[in-house]
Structure 1
Amino acid sequence: MPTRIQRRRTRGWRLPENAVIVSRPSRFGNPCKVGLMQEMGYVDPHAAATEYFRRWLYGSRFGAPTDEADRARDRILADLHRLRGKDLACVCPPDRACHGEVLLDRANLPAAELDEWIRGVRARVDWHRVNGGEEPLHPSTAGAQR
């Protein structure tokens, strides 16, 4: 089973062969900053940022009801299958919660189950967009309900 590994920036450290970087600047990065969660007073800012990411990836628009956030989510969903079977590298310490764990969980679903889950997320986002007076990102899901 693929695992999450801590990315290092020390001299000589190399990304393992079967690993993908998922830290913030990457395509799969968490838009929620751990530092912001710390400033907001969360006792465990890593856990708070991870939970925010999970909810956001699953289709919540709370805290990020923008086209940019919806498109960022959709880019992750479109490429999630590429993470299947890969170790994921992030700068988060191994003993802390990390959005990489959420990515590992979803990416390693059976292909049909992952596709169905992604369709559901897209339908949920479009339902919220349409009910908020916005255009859906995926018109085929516009009539879908939560």
Structure 2
Amino acid sequence: MPNRIQRKRTTGWRKPDNCVIVSRPSRYGNPCKVGTMEEMGYVDPHAAAADYFATWLRGSRFGSPTDESDQRRERILTALPTLRGKDLACTCRPDQACHADVLLRWANLPEAELAERITWIRSRVDVQRVNDGDEPMYGGQS
């Protein structure tokens, strides 16, 4: 199973081979900021941010019911298969919860299970979009 690696900003640190950077500014970054969770009073803001990411990636529009958020989720879902078998690097310490753990689990699911999950998420997003008065992204409710 691939691993999560702590990305360092120190001189001389290099991303290992077969590793993808998934920290906040990347294509795979968590839209939920740890600092925001800290300001909200969470005892473990890293775990709260990772939990939010998992819920958001599963298709929840709660807290971010925007086209931009839905399109960002879709970019991540579409790219998940490219992360299969790769280590993921984020700035979170190894002892902290991190959205990269969610990405590792999902990207390394059996292909059919991942495809089924993505299809279900897209359906869920469309239902929520229609309920919110928005156009569906994927062709309608299922």
Structure 1 stretches of 4+ with a deviation exceeding 6 A read none
How far 1:133 sits from its partner (Å)?
A: 1.2
User: What does 1:1-146 align with in structure 2 at a 5 Å threshold?
Assistant: 1-139=1-139, 142-144=140-142
Name the aligned partner's letter for residue 31 of structure 2.
P
How far 1:112 sits from its partner (Å)?
A: 1.1
**What SS does the corresponding residue of 1:50 show, helix, strand or coil?**
helix
**What SS does the corresponding residue of 2:52 show, helix, strand or coil?**
helix
**What SS does the corresponding residue of 2:51 show, helix, strand or coil?**
helix
Name the aligned partner's letter for residue 15 of structure 1.
K
The aligned length equals: 142
Tell me the distance in 2 between the aligned counterparts of 1:132 and 1:65.
8
Structure 1, unaligned runs of 5 or more: none
Q: Deviations over 1:57-91 (max 9, x none)?
A: 00000100000000000000010000000000000
**What SS does the corresponding residue of 1:20 show, helix, strand or coil?**
strand
Structure 2, unaligned runs of 5 or more: none
Calculate percent identity across the aligned residue pairs: 67
Q: Deviations over 1:10-67 (max 9, x none)?
A: 0111100010000000000000000000011000000000000000000000100000
How far 1:143 sits from its partner (Å)?
A: 2.4
Tell me the distance in 2 between the aligned counterparts of 1:143 and 1:9.
45
**What SS does the corresponding residue of 2:5 show, helix, strand or coil?**
strand
Name the aligned partner's letter for residue 119 of structure 1.
T
Q: Deviations over 1:100-130 (max 9, x none)?
A: 0000010001111111110000000001001
Tell me the distance in 1 between the aligned counterparts of 2:4 and 2:51.
17
After TM superposition, the score normalised by the length of structure 2 is: 0.99
Tell me the distance in 2 between the aligned counterparts of 1:120 and 1:106.
14
Tell me the distance in 1 between the aligned counterparts of 2:12 and 2:132.
50
After TM superposition, the score normalised by the length of structure 1 is: 0.96
